[in-house]
Chain A
Amino acid sequence: MNEERIKVSRDLMSDGVGLIAAAGYINNEGGQAIADAATELMGQGCKTLLIDLDGTRIINSIGVSILLEILEKLMDEKGTLAFCSLTPTISKTFEIMGLVQYATVYPDREAAQAAIIGDPSV
């Protein structure tokens, strides 16, 4: 649960859709690592980003505030942000801080892929 160093990977799911997988503690450093991956994917033309938090069990408000900044940048570009594989506590934290008002939450990556690109087998 208390893995300090976050592991972040990024990939293109399809044209214009980027995937960021993050596992570990989302604090200021973890949030910034996700923000760096988001910036890179947006630079590659992604206007839709899916952040998969499978393997992330603890966060703090500083990390979530950085996720809010990613959301703002995407919305400035008329893009969209989605999350999947959230624990109930992370989901509630996102709700308290207003993130889920503007981002879509899916139960897992398969459901997200099916909804975003229509192909659950990717």
Chain B
Amino acid sequence: MEVVLHLPVVPNVELVAAKAVETLGSALGMHQTHVEAASVAMVEACLNAMEHGGGTVTVRLREEINASRPCLLIEVEDHGQGFDPATAPKNSPSGVLGRSSKRGWGLTLIRELMDEVQIQSTPGKTLVSMRKYVESAP
């Protein structure tokens, strides 16, 4: 099974991608809680791609049933300026109150909610690859 979406930058289009996660994750027999976690990660990845990519966002979802741990693979690709994942901000809950800006949580949420995350970014192309195991720990 594979789903490919080309998302225009319009309000709430990230929910289309989240719906695809819900549909494919459920078909794979993933627990509802894991499907919802992957959906939130998908939403954050799409929002980042739309904010920084500056154009159509490509989303691919597919099952990896022959992997050592069967999973749902999600890829989100944009064509913006790119960034260095190693120096991207890692937010922490301590001291969150009082900050003038409370934004910038997307990558932190993605890393916490998914089982594997890989980011490849060069000027002109950023690819966020995320895996959620079908049999994730609760």
Contact = CB atoms under 8 A, between A and B. Distances in A.
A71 B96 CA distance: 11
Contacts, number: 86
A58 B15 contact: yes
Interface residues of B, number: 30
Contacts of A1: 18-19, 22, 36, 39
A4 B89 CA distance: 29
A58 B93 contact: no
Q: Is the interface of A mostly helix, strand, loop or mixed?
A: helix
A2 B18 contact: yes
Interface stretch (A8-16, A34-42, A93-101): A93-101
Interface string A56-71: 0111111011001101
B12 A98 contact: no
A120 B42 CA distance: 38
Given A92-B112, A98-B96, A25 B15 contact: yes
B97 interface: yes
Nearest to B93: A98
B62 to A, nearest CB: 20
B93 A101 contact: yes
A87 interface: yes
Q: Which 10 A-B residue pairs are closest in the complex by CB-CB distance? A: A98-B93, A65-B102, A98-B96, A61-B105, A89-B36, A2-B15, A88-B33, A89-B37, A2-B19, A96-B112
Interface of B: 12, 14-15, 18-19, 22, 33, 36-37, 39-40, 43-44, 47, 91-94, 96-98, 102-103, 105-106, 108-109, 112-113, 138
